[in-house]
Amino acid sequence: MGHRSRHRHKQVHLRDHQVRWSYYLRLLAILLAGLGSLVGLAEVGLRLAGLYVPASFLIKTADQRYFVPNQQFLRQFYSGQAAAGKILPFKASVKKPANTKRILILGESAAQGTPEPAFGFCRILQFMLKKTNPQVDIELINAALRGVDSTILAVAARDLMQLEPDVVILYIGNNEVVGLYGARGRLGLLVTGLRRSICQLAIGQFLTRILPAPGTNRQDMAYFRRQYVAFSDPRRKAVYDRLRKNLQSICTLARDAGAKVIVCTVAVNLADCPPFGSMHKHGLGQAALADWQAKYEGATRMERAGELAKAIELYQAAARIDDRLAELHYRLARCLARQGQVQEALRHYQLACDLDALAFRSDSKVNGVIRDLAKGFADGTVILADIEGRFTEDGQVIPGGQYFHDHVHLTFDGDYKIAACLLPLVQQCLALESNTNTPSLQQCAEGLAYNPFAQAQIAAGILETTSRPPFLDQVDHAQVQALKARQVKAAMDGLSQQQVQAAARLYEAALAADPNDWYIHRLYAYLALAQQDIQTALQHLRAAVTQFPDHLPTVLMYASTCVQAGLTQEAMLQYRQALRLAPGNRMAKRALRSLSRR
């Protein structure tokens, strides 16, 4: 075959090859277009069938008059039960009244007021403002979310600026290392981002409902130990960088919406919360580890024997070998505090917090990011509230059980302290008259109906929480739990009928002042159920559910009370509502199966 013939043959072969690939590409394009059309039709069909829920944080009521929180907002981030019941209900006029000042609180569970939001610093601050500035219509909106981190809060903040807040208060930082985004690798972040993108579509929401949720690890102590992140782990730097970026974003959004921002450093329990996890420094040899262990065990024996000076000496000797173990610093700090060396004790308590391998508390770097952020806004739109500094009183006090139930969740005293710190700053931001007549702790307790029954009930709930992981590895956990159990029992047994009646009178007075106080209706229901007064409990739970029918915990509580009252049909109606809010809720499923057999 000649050269020209071979050349023509190659050209023909090339043309045939190009034709084939052109055909395949056209076929692929047709198939993709068809698939896209099917997906599009499915998307439209699912939306028409009412199987799409908005992904935004705010939605409007049916009459379009009010904004309310979207209780389905967290579905784009979490699967199953982890997405349900974490948002407090509220209602805000779409058209903000001209004479109303709105204050928005954004944060995690500590800002929300866990374990009882009725007594959180948001409610105390609201009471203080009403007392000190009664001539001004001030509306506080608690948009804090339990269990989230700053990345999720930054997403929520974009919608929340529709509320036209005058002041935004940020109390954020406790979930940055262990939150959903936290110290995850790139793959984990990619999967989370992909899930969120899918859940923006009705077809994605439908698939996440009908397909089984991916296997989740049982959250026992073995699970939590696998989540340890060392203080020197580079993933921690990524966490602090992300926090800085998210806070910057929220502050900019608020400023652009015309709001002033109060960004708070975060106080944590240092004295009465041992670290959740401890890790030795990397590369510690066997001989050094054995030497460290001997000194450490000797120190703990001296501490138990009350020989605090010897214990301190041995703890310090162990620290010279390995000073990365959080538990060592906690024990050393405890001995120093008992010796009256408060400032040195505070330093080691802070190190125990910073080195905690399960960082469920804001550490010094988190608070450093917050302080630096406030300095970066030179125009005065962002103000720092140094809550951490207020709790330590410039190094003279070690915050502990007086202010915290557990690691970060505040007692009434702790919430009052934050509210008292915020009050003058809020007044400054709103150009309100300020004075020194800040309502006292007792006045706030009476005004919010805080009482011995509620206090004992909260303590019992905290005891139950701290009896489970991740608390089990903490220093002296069993002894501390036993002591608290005795205290809770004594508090419960010591409640007199007069105290119970006094609590009821406080609730009645609060409802007389505001019949729509959702928090008080729920508190009154708890009291009535404890007294086996089912009808009174029903009355107040019905009022709470009528006001906010999408709050899952209240719906479940009302349904359960209906069962006790023999109101089977109403109970089934409420359990079905619970399943609409949380399709996988086991309690509602079991209850419906049981009730349907009656």
Position with higher pLDDT, 216 vs 77? 77
Please count the structural domains in the chain.
4
Q: Which domain holds residue 313?
A: 286-354
Residues in contact with 109: Cβ distance below 8 Å, sequence separation at least 6, in sequence order: 144, 145, 146, 147, 174, 408, 409
Among residues 427, 442, 457, the one where a domain terminates is 442
In contact, 276 and 356? CB cutoff 8 Å? yes
189 and 83 in a common domain: yes
Residues 190 and 147 in one domain: yes
Domain of 187: which CATH number?
Answer: 3.40.50.1110
In a domain? residue 487: no
Same domain for 298 and 222: no
**Residue 118 shares a structural domain with residue 101:** yes
In a domain, residue 486? The reply is no
Residue 396 forms part of a structural domain: yes
Report if residue 219 sits inside a domain: yes
Given a cut of 50, is residue 215 above it in pLDDT? Answer: no
Say whether both 435 and 309 belong to one domain: no
Region label for 219, one of left (φ > 0), alpha (ψ between -120 and 50) or beta (otherwise): beta
What tens digit of pLDDT does each residue of 48-95 get?
Answer: 665 567 789 999 999 999 999 999 899 888 877 778 899 999 999 999
Q: How confident is the model at residue 556 (pLDDT cuts 50, 70, 90)?
A: very high
Q: Are residues 29 and 108 in the same domain?
A: no
Question: 297, 324, 354 — which closes off a domain?
Answer: 354
Q: How far apart are CA 513 and CA 337, in angstroms?
A: 46
209 and 147 fall within a common domain: yes
Q: Look up the CATH number of the domain holding residue 344.
A: 1.25.40.10
Number of Cβ within a 10 Å radius of residue 111:
28
Q: Is pLDDT above 70 for 113? A: yes
Domain-embedded: residue 403: yes
Residues making up the chain, counted from first to last: 598
Clarify whether residues 588 and 507 are in a common domain: yes
Tell me: do 262 and 316 sit in the same domain: no
Residue 456 included in any domain: no
Whether residues 326 and 388 fall in one domain:
no
In-domain check, residue 590 = yes
Q: State which of 398, 420, 442 marks the end of a domain.
A: 442
- Give per-residue pLDDT as tens, 461-497: 999 999 999 999 999 999 999 999 999 999 999 999 9
369 & 245 share domain: yes
pLDDT digits (tens, 9 = 90+) for 229-245: 999 999 999 999 999 99
Sequence-distant (≥ 6) Cβ neighbours of residue 540 within 8 angstroms? 521, 522, 524, 525, 528
546 and 397 fall within a common domain:
no
The 10s digit of each residue's pLDDT in 20-47 is: 566 556 656 666 565 556 656 665 675 6
Residue at 281 is within a domain: no
